[in-house]
Structure 1
Amino acid sequence: MSESLGIVTIDTGFQRPIFDAAYLVVDNGRGAFIDCGTQHSIPALLAALPAQGLTPADIDWLILTHVHLDHAGGAGALMRQLPNARLVVHPRGAPHMIDPARLVAGATAVYGAEEMARSYGEIVPIAAERVVIARDGHIVPLGGRPLLCVDTPGHARHHLCVWDERSRSWFTGDTFGLSYREFDSARGPFILPTSSPVQFEPEPLKASIRTLLASDPEAMYLTHYGRVGDVQRLGAELIEQIDAMVRIGQAQAADGERHARLSEALRALYTERALAHGSPLSEAQIHAALAVDIELNAQGLGVWLDRQTERSVSTADATG
Structure 2
Amino acid sequence: MANTHGIHTIDTGFVRPRFDAAYLVVENGRGAFIDCGTNFSVSRLLVALDEAGISVAAVDWLILTHVHLDHAGGAGELIARLPNAKLVVHPRGARHMIDPSVLWAGASSVYGEAVMEQTYGRLRPVPAERVVEAPDGHVVELAGRRLLCIDTPGHARHHLTVYDERANVCFTGDVFGLSYRDFDTANGPFILPTTSPVQFDPEALHASIGRLVALEPAAMYLTHYGRVEPVERLAADLHLQIDAMVALARAAHGRPDRHAVLMESLTDLYATRAAAHGWGQGRDALRQLLGMDIELNAQGLEVWLDR
Fold conserved between structures, TM > 0.5 = yes
Q: What SS does the corresponding residue of 2:268 show, helix, strand or coil? A: helix
Opposite residue 285 of structure 1, the aligned amino acid is A
Task: Provide the residue aligned with 2:102 in structure 1.
Answer: 102
Task: Provide the residue aligned with 2:223 in structure 1.
Answer: 223
Alignment of 1:259-274 (within 5 A): 259-274=259-274
1:174-226 CA distance string (max 9 Å, x none): 00000000000000000000012222210000100000100111000000000
Contact persistence 1:91–1:158 (CA under 8 A): yes
Alignment of 1:1-320 (within 5 A): 1-307=1-307
Q: What SS does the corresponding residue of 1:49 show, helix, strand or coil? A: helix
Q: What SS does the corresponding residue of 2:273 show, helix, strand or coil? A: helix
Q: Distance in 2 between matches of 1:2 and 1:44?
A: 14
Q: What SS does the corresponding residue of 2:163 show, helix, strand or coil? A: strand
Contact persistence 1:31–1:61 (CA under 8 A): yes
Q: Distance in 2 between matches of 1:87 and 1:154?
A: 23
Aligned-pair distance for 1:281? 2.5
Provide the aligned C-alpha RMSD in A: 0.7
Q: Distance in 2 between matches of 1:11 and 1:51?
A: 14
Q: Taking structure 1 as the reference length, what is the TM-score of the superposition?
A: 0.95
1:141-189 CA distance string (max 9 Å, x none): 0002110000000000000000001111000000000000000000000
Q: Distance in 1 between matches of 2:134 and 2:199?
A: 22
1:83-125 CA distance string (max 9 Å, x none): 0000000000000000000000111111111111111012000
Q: What SS does the corresponding residue of 1:42 show, helix, strand or coil? A: helix
Aligned-pair distance for 1:40? 0.1
The size of the alignment, in residue pairs, is 307
1:4-59 CA distance string (max 9 Å, x none): 11000000000111000000000011000000000000010000112222100000
Q: What percent identity do the matched residue pairs reach?
A: 64
1:63-99 CA distance string (max 9 Å, x none): 0000000000000000000000000000000000000
Q: Distance in 2 between matches of 1:24 and 1:3?
A: 9
Q: Distance in 1 between matches of 2:49 and 2:194?
A: 30
Aligned-pair distance for 1:2? 1.6
Contact persistence 1:183–1:280 (CA under 8 A): no
Gaps of 5+ in 2: none
Q: Distance in 2 between matches of 1:247 and 1:52?
A: 46
Q: Distance in 2 between matches of 1:228 and 1:166?
A: 17
Contact persistence 1:183–1:281 (CA under 8 A): no
Q: Distance in 2 between matches of 1:199 and 1:272?
A: 27
Q: Taking structure 2 as the reference length, what is the TM-score of the superposition?
A: 0.99
Gaps of 5+ in 1: 308-320
Opposite residue 204 of structure 1, the aligned amino acid is A
Contact persistence 2:196–2:301 (CA under 8 A): no
Contact persistence 2:191–2:237 (CA under 8 A): yes
Opposite residue 274 of structure 1, the aligned amino acid is A
Moved over 6 A (4+): none
Q: Distance in 2 between matches of 1:163 and 1:117?
A: 33
Opposite residue 271 of structure 1, the aligned amino acid is A
Contact persistence 2:152–2:208 (CA under 8 A): yes
Aligned-pair distance for 1:282? 2.4
Range moving further from structure 2, 205-214 or 282-291 = 282-291
